[in-house]
Amino acid sequence: MPNPVDVCIVGMGAVGGIMAKELVSAGLKVVGLERGPLLEFENYAYKDSIRAIARRQLEERVKHEPISIRPARGAKTRLQYTTSPSNSVGGGLMIWTGSATRFTPDDFKVCTNDVQGGIAKRAGADLKGYNIADWPITYDDLEPYYERFEWEMGVSGKSGANPFEGPRRKDYPLPQLRPSTRTKLFGEACSRLSYHAYETPQGILSQAYKPPAPYDQRIPERPGCVYCGQCNNYGCHVHAKTSSPFTVIPVALETGNLDLRTRCKVFRVNTGPGGRAKGVSYFDPDGQVVEQSATMIILAGFLYENIRLLLLSGEGKKGLANSSGLVGRYIMAHGDVRTTGLFDDTIINGFIGPNGGMRMDDFNGNNFDHAGLGFIRGATIGTSGGGTPIERCDVVPPGWPRWGEKYKENLARYYTRCFDIGMHPETLPHKDNFVDLDPVRKDAWGIPLPRVTFSFHQNEHCMWRFLGEKCEGIMRETGASHVWTKPSNRGSRWAGGVRMGEDPKKSVVNGYCQTHDMKNLFVVGSSVFPSMSGYAATPTIGALAYRTAEYIRSSDKLLG
């Protein structure tokens, strides 16, 4: 049995990397357990669309980790491999698009502003089935940690470009990335429609960068983006994309205080006397069971894994840290809606990077009047739609042939002449959306799969209809020759399931991501979000990781 350590982190993705660096730098001994490998260059930097897109589920580190998913209780369950498939050190940061927008102050106060503040009534929204809560922390609480994420990890953007963003003490460390044809078209169309488009802040370096003082200067210098266009689902071949193995992981390892153990699959949090977590049990790469004792445990996996581990641990069916009965409840995901435009006269070259681009927040949160609209909250709307030909060959307008001569002619004509406008609509926490343990299906280690029960409900559908028309309006204004809109009906960017709150009866963790039931057990990541906003989660996840690490470092009692 390995020696006890101060902290054991389960999952070495975005959260695990940042927290490990912060904690080992304070002299704590940390074991980082990661179910996947630390990828070698040739296993993340490949440019291979068959491997990265068409056959990703065959990757060794992905195929043993499906989830089961169903739309509702009693419905048929199917296996899915394509969500959170990175399963490697760095996690989602290895393969993300880089969208790095902060949440707004309003995003933390949905109950106060929308429900109690009367916006729901004014909108005539039907909120039956939803359980809407504020965060126990505010934007101001997170602001300094957003800044650390941006300046240590490297985010390119421009303060003030988005009139709806929250107040910030400092600008972004790097100028915006290069514009592309589609960002220009989108930006100009938005201007003509009196919307406020801005270049999305991105976790991709626009030029060579090394964090200056007072930020962590041990983080290595990285080069700027070369605009190869293969961000989403690919690792970065020049390391311009912000990923933990190029930033915080080497710093943490250098201290000698981080024991990084890859291909180790944690299956239980162990508990001891006095209501404390005492360690974890995991399968090592040879399939042997190992027990690791630690003074403090941090669950830093994707939300399915965090929930699954809590439900697998403890006594009885209820699982660990679950006196509220809310572990696994109120999961959320964006239901992306995509409008595509084909251009007869303009070459877009969507395969040229970066994948991210421009957004506008005029219809996000409470940035617009909801009177009579029938829904609360909103979505950010932005451009996307790059990709290798394999990713674009199914982008065909309704009624157009999907094969044959005419299809071929259209593909040859429009592959370089198209782009998408997509929205990230805020999904509200609903009582029927949850994760539990699959009663039948097990993974390669014999552990029950996380079972996701998820559907979009009335507020989402009503919002999609309204905002789909807005997306189409922008696309028509760009001058596109053919325009159509398609809801995805699939969740993207998942959150919730380990709700953060002040009241132990209504939440699982407090504002420091510490479980109400066990003072030395933390859950950090998008799983703690009470609401999800219309933005991608990564900077908020990073800010929570920095803030929680600081709390742990400053709380002697926790380690006592």
Contact set for other proteins, span 262-301 (CB under 8 A):
none
Least distance to other proteins, CB of residue 225, Å: 8
Cβ(246)–Cβ(368) under 8 Å?
A: no
Least distance to other proteins, CB of residue 59, Å: 11
* Residue of 92, 157, 229, 511 interacting with other proteins (CB under 8 A): 229
| Contact flag: residue 411 with other proteins (CB under 8 A) | yes
Contact set for other proteins, span 461-520 (CB under 8 A):
none
| Cα gap 163→315, rounded to integer Å | 50
Cβ(378)–Cβ(363) under 8 Å?
A: yes
Instruction: Decide whether 42 or 286 has the Cβ nearer to other proteins.
Output: 42
- Tell me the one-letter amino acid at 101: T
Stretch in the footprint of other proteins (CB under 8 A) among 82-90, 251-259, 304-312, 340-348: 340-348
DSSP annotation of 159 reads: T
| Contact flag: residue 227 with other proteins (CB under 8 A) | yes
Q: Retrieve residue 29's tokens.
A: 């001994």
Instruction: Decide whether 161 or 228 has the Cβ nearer to other proteins.
Output: 228
Buried b / exposed e across 197-217, counting CB within 10 Å, b at 16+?
A: bbbbbbbbbbeebebeeebbe
Least distance to other proteins, CB of residue 418, Å: 11
Instruction: Decide whether 390 or 559 has the Cβ nearer to other proteins.
Output: 390
Q: Is 540 helix (H, G, I), strand (E, B) or coil?
A: helix
| Contact flag: residue 178 with other proteins (CB under 8 A) | yes
Least distance to other proteins, CB of residue 204, Å: 12
* Residue of 399, 405, 446, 560 interacting with other proteins (CB under 8 A): 405
| Contact flag: residue 228 with other proteins (CB under 8 A) | yes
Cβ(66)–Cβ(221) under 8 Å?
A: no
Stretch in the footprint of other proteins (CB under 8 A) among 40-48, 153-161, 260-268, 482-490: 40-48
| Contact flag: residue 318 with other proteins (CB under 8 A) | no
Query: What are the residues whose beta carbons fall under 8 Å from the beta carbon of 166, sequence distance 6 or more?
Result: 102, 103, 104, 105, 139, 143
Least distance to other proteins, CB of residue 56, Å: 12
- List the helix and strand counts (H, then E) for the chain: 15, 19
Distance of CA 555 to the CA centre of its chain: 28
* Residue of 108, 415, 464, 535 interacting with other proteins (CB under 8 A): 415
* Residue of 75, 393, 440, 444 interacting with other proteins (CB under 8 A): 393
| Contact flag: residue 314 with other proteins (CB under 8 A) | no
SS (H, E, C) 4-45: CEEEEEECCCHHHHHHHHHHHCCCCCEEEEECCCCCCHHHCC
Q: Which of 113, 183, 195, 536 is nearest to 363 (CA)?
A: 195
Q: Retrieve residue 304's tokens.
A: 């399915």
* Residue of 87, 230, 383, 427 interacting with other proteins (CB under 8 A): 230
| Contact flag: residue 164 with other proteins (CB under 8 A) | no
Instruction: Decide whether 46 or 215 has the Cβ nearer to other proteins.
Output: 46
Q: Is 440 helix (H, G, I), strand (E, B) or coil?
A: strand
Instruction: Decide whether 178 or 461 has the Cβ nearer to other proteins.
Output: 178
- E strand or H helix that includes residue 409: helix 405-414
Cβ(364)–Cβ(512) under 8 Å?
A: no
| Contact flag: residue 88 with other proteins (CB under 8 A) | no
Q: Retrieve residue 472's tokens.
A: 């189409």
* Residue of 233, 293, 346, 507 interacting with other proteins (CB under 8 A): 346
Query: What are the residues whose beta carbons fall under 8 Å from the beta carbon of 405, sequence distance 6 or more?
Result: none
SS (H, E, C) 114-139: HHHCCHHHHHCCCCCCECCCCCCCCH
Contact set for other proteins, span 42-81 (CB under 8 A):
42, 45-50, 54-55, 58
Least distance to other proteins, CB of residue 351, Å: 6
| Contact flag: residue 339 with other proteins (CB under 8 A) | no
| Cα gap 525→538, rounded to integer Å | 9
Least distance to other proteins, CB of residue 239, Å: 13
Cβ(331)–Cβ(434) under 8 Å?
A: yes
| Contact flag: residue 208 with other proteins (CB under 8 A) | no
* Residue of 402, 431, 442, 505 interacting with other proteins (CB under 8 A): 402
| Cα gap 466→374, rounded to integer Å | 10
Q: Is 517 helix (H, G, I), strand (E, B) or coil?
A: coil
Taking residues 114 to 153 in sequence order and writing x for each that binds other proteins by CB under 8 A, - otherwise, the string is ----------------------------------------
If binding means CB under 8 A, how many residues of this protein chain bind other proteins?
44
Q: Retrieve residue 384's tokens.
A: 């996307």
| Contact flag: residue 40 with other proteins (CB under 8 A) | no
| Contact flag: residue 412 with other proteins (CB under 8 A) | yes
Q: State the residues that interact with other proteins by CB under 8 A.
A: 42, 45-50, 54-55, 58, 178-181, 225-230, 237-238, 346-349, 351-353, 388-390, 393, 402-405, 407-409, 411-412, 415-416
